[in-house]
Structure 1
Amino acid sequence: MEERKNNTAMGKNPLEKSIHISIIVPVYNSADFLHQCVDSILRQTYREFELLLINDGSSDDSLKIMNSFAEQDSRIQVIDKVKNSGVSDTRNIGISLAKGKTICFIDSDDWVEKNYLQVFIDNYVSSDILLLQNVIRDKPRNLHYKTYNLQNDFTELFLRNNLLYFGGPCGKFFEREIITKNNITFNSEVSYGEDLIFFLEYIKQIQAINIINAALYHYEFTENSLSRTKHSFDSLFILHSAIADFIFFHHQQTGKKIKKYIYQVDWDIIEACIDQGIIGKKLNKEDSYICMNKIKATIDKNHFLYSGYYRKVLFLLLKTKQYQLLLQLKKRLNK
């Protein structure tokens, strides 16, 4: 078992009785951003939380910075993973060590407004309602703020808000008991979409999602972030399967809109394969065969019927194996 070091003294944590929220921050070579991230957490107006800073084998000064913060604030625990194992494993360790009733995840290169936690607390109603805030990237998304019942409002929630494409763990307030009782984890074998799969598995266990009218989480895009690595076609198809299973789980009698949505997901997966160079790069014969068979199995005539002009062209190029022409078309359109 991998060695981990925890700076919390042996024995019962004196804060344990008052911990309402466990904040899990995976850290990998984030020295340039870590001060801003942790400072924003420690400035929270809501104070009853523990902060788990988990070092994923960083080679920069991240661990030194984490330990410095821990010396100043007893709510902070530093967990040092000697060997890098990725964001999924790091988050899972955080879940296993968390003591709070609720869990929220913050990436080490992101930061939050000082009332981020308080807004969650003020909107908390029940353990079977997931709280979700807007996340600021370049600008807040155009979300429709209300509480959605997953049984009755499924189409509106996922079609109108396009929620599946923002299913990462940040900006959400999870119940620890629901996670542990149902053995929900981040799949460390999947390099892309593991956070969305976690989200889908979680909301299978609850009744509603409350999208709060707030945008207090600031997402910073960096190339070296734990959660922003290039992905394989295997991961893309695992993600596609998880999304399709989830849609049918919540909507057994599939209407036209839901079918159209599944086709949209299919196309997004295929285009991701193309954009990542999976179709265009020189795979070995076996991998090429597997990849193309998966794509062909995904596409049928209904995809053609439900597609716009551009995707009709894409469909025909794929079916006729005009891969070089397809790549040239994508390259021109992406300029």
Structure 2
Amino acid sequence: MNIAFPEVSVIIPFYKTPFSKLEKCLESFLQQDFPSFELLLIDDGNPVEYRPMLGKYLESNANISYFQFSSNKGVSEARNLGINKAKGKYIVFCDSDDYVEQNHLTQLFQAISLPSVDLAICGIHERDYPVVDSLVKKNKFIAFPSKYSGIQYINFIHNKIFRKELIINNQLRFETSIKLGEDALFLARYLEFCQKIKSISNQSYHYVLDENSAMSSYYEKYWDWESLVIKKQFDLFSSVELSENENNYLKYWLYRKIRRAFSYYFNRRPDDKSYFYIFNQIISSELFSTLEKGLFNNSYFSFLDIGLVYFWKIFKAEGVYLTSKFLKLKQLIKKS
């Protein structure tokens, strides 16, 4: 292995990750059948006891580099540091509590080594989001939101390999001012500069559910951050001429995103009406205005979907609250 000039740089930020999980993550990379890579461990201001526990890895593996923040800066700052320190031609990201199959780097490297491919995507275990085998030009990728708008394609960064040159030349970095959606924003910006995208159905990335993750927490600014992501992704898919079917699907995708935003606040504070002003922000947004046009001719929307949108428009926050109560009760009855 050429440590000075590795082919791939794997960036792993960690903050208060249980050491058993971090160790499993590291071991999965040290057992790779790919010969030329470096591991960049970004210590995001962890307690001092982490460094001694990592000693056996740092001392016996020349391809592991360790960088440390004196205080917790957040995952975006940590990833950006990793990008700045990376020596490889290609960059792979991994969460510190996840792990990968032995052929993870090999299959991603082979995929991105194909002519004109700037992004390669693999499947993810423990997720009901299948990745299909395909090789498409960027314009075809964004012309089919019905196929490629799933979160495994445009939200997750961990099941992908990126060209470092493309990141550096276009000054792409993770947004440090937001706590959710920073990876989706980074990916949407990266996709703008891609020529071709290769996806692989093989599920070589293992996603370990963390009940204490950022998505499980409550952030009042969730809509501020999520609306940035939704608009960026919507604009990306809208940047090419879509067929009628794909345009209809994109509208339905937008509906599900907005409905998910309502659910985020309601499910975390079901008896608290203090977030009504956020519901009204969403309903008065440009995204909602885009959503409400032409629904009756859209086959992706059921009568219930159309009814919900217009009920929200008429009754604003109170309408969202009432329909959320109704849908939750309906779900409970269905489970009983």
TM-score by length of structure 1 reads: 0.85
Decide whether the 8 Å contact of 1:133 with 1:211 is kept in 2: yes
Higher mean alpha-carbon deviation, 38-47 vs 304-313, is at 304-313
Mind listing any 5+ residue stretches in structure 2 that lack a counterpart? Answer: none
CA shift digits 1:185-219 (9 cap, x unpaired): 11122332221221121121111111124211111
| 1:135 is the counterpart of 2:124 | yes
Q: 1:135 to 1:334 in 2, by over 3 A?
A: same
Q: Deviations over 1:85-109 (max 9, x none)?
A: 2212211111111111000001101
TM-fit CA distance, 1:161: 4.4
In 2, are the aligned partners of 1:192 and 1:239 still within 8 Å (CA)?
no
1:261–1:184 Cα change, 3 Å: farther
Q: Determine the C-alpha separation between the residues in 1 that align with 2:51 and 2:216.
A: 21
How many aligned residue pairs are there?
A: 317
Question: What SS does structure 2 have at the residue aligned with 1:276?
Answer: helix
Structure 1 residue aligned with 2:250: 262
Query: Are 1:147 and 1:209, in contact at CA under 8 Å, matched by a contact in 2?
Result: yes
User: 1:201 is aligned with what amino acid?
Assistant: R
Aligned letter for 1:132?
A: I
Q: After the TM superposition, which residues 288-327 of structure 1 pair with which residues of structure 2 at under 5 Å, given as runs?
A: 289-294=280-285, 296-306=288-298, 307-321=301-315, 322-327=319-324
Q: CA separation in 2, counterparts of 1:218 and 1:126? A: 28
Show CA shifts across 1:294-316 (max 9, x none): 26434323235422122123113
State the shift of 1:174 in Å.
0.5
Q: Is this contact kept in 1: 2:142–2:148, CA < 8 A?
A: no
Q: CA RMSD in A?
A: 2.6
Specify which of 310, 325, 330 is matched with residue 328 of structure 1. Answer: 325
Amino acid at match of 1:211: S
1:272 equivalent in alignment to 2:236? no
Q: Give secondary structure in 2 for the equivalent of 1:320.
A: helix
The CA distance in 2 between the partners of 1:42 and 1:118, in whole Å, is 13
Does structure 1 residue 236 correspond to structure 2 residue 217?
no
Q: Residues 159 and 205 of structure 2 are in contact (CA less than 8 Å); yes or no, is this contact kept in structure 1? A: yes
Structure 2 counterpart of 1:255, one-letter code: S
2:24 aligned with 1:41, yes or no?
no
1:52 aligns with one of 37, 40, 44:
40
User: 1:220-265: CA deviations, max 9, x gaps?
Assistant: 111234676545111121111101211122x1x2331232133123
Match of 1:246 among 208, 218, 236: 236
SS in 1 for 2:284: helix
Aligned to 1:10: none
Deviation at 1:126, TM superposition (A): 3.4
Give the deviation of 1:136 after TM superposition: 1.0
| 2:115 is aligned with 1:126 | yes
| Residue in structure 1 matched with residue 59 of structure 2 by the alignment | 71
SS of aligned partner of 1:277: helix
Moved more, 105-114 or 216-225: 216-225
Distance 1:103 1:333, change over 3 A: farther
**Matching residue of 2:273:** 282
Which residue of the partner structure matches residue 105 of structure 2?
A: 117
Supply the AA of the counterpart residue of 2:264: Q
Q: Give the 3 Å change call, closer, same or farther, for CA 298–15 of structure 1 in structure 2.
A: same
The answer (yes or no) to whether the contact 1:191–1:230 under 8 Å persists in 2 is no
Letter of the structure 2 residue corresponding to residue 302 of structure 1: G
Question: Which amino acid in structure 1 is aligned with residue 273 of structure 2?
Answer: K
Residue aligning to 1:9: none
Contact 1:317-1:325 at 8 Å conserved across structures: no
Quick check: 1:195 aligned with 2:183?
yes
Whether contact under 8 Å (2:14, 2:44) holds in the other structure is yes
The alignment-based identity, stated in percent, is 24
How many Å apart are 1:287 and its aligned residue? 5.0
Q: Distance in 2 between matches of 1:261 and 1:118?
A: 35
The residue aligned with 1:160 is 147
The equivalent of 1:145 in structure 2 is: 133
Q: CA deviation at 1:129?
A: 3.2
Q: Could you tell me which amino acid in structure 2 is paired with residue 21 of structure 1?
A: V
Q: Structure 1 residues 323 and 286, CA, compared in 2 at 3 Å: closer, same or farther?
A: closer
Following superposition, the deviation at residue 154 of structure 1 comes to: 3.9
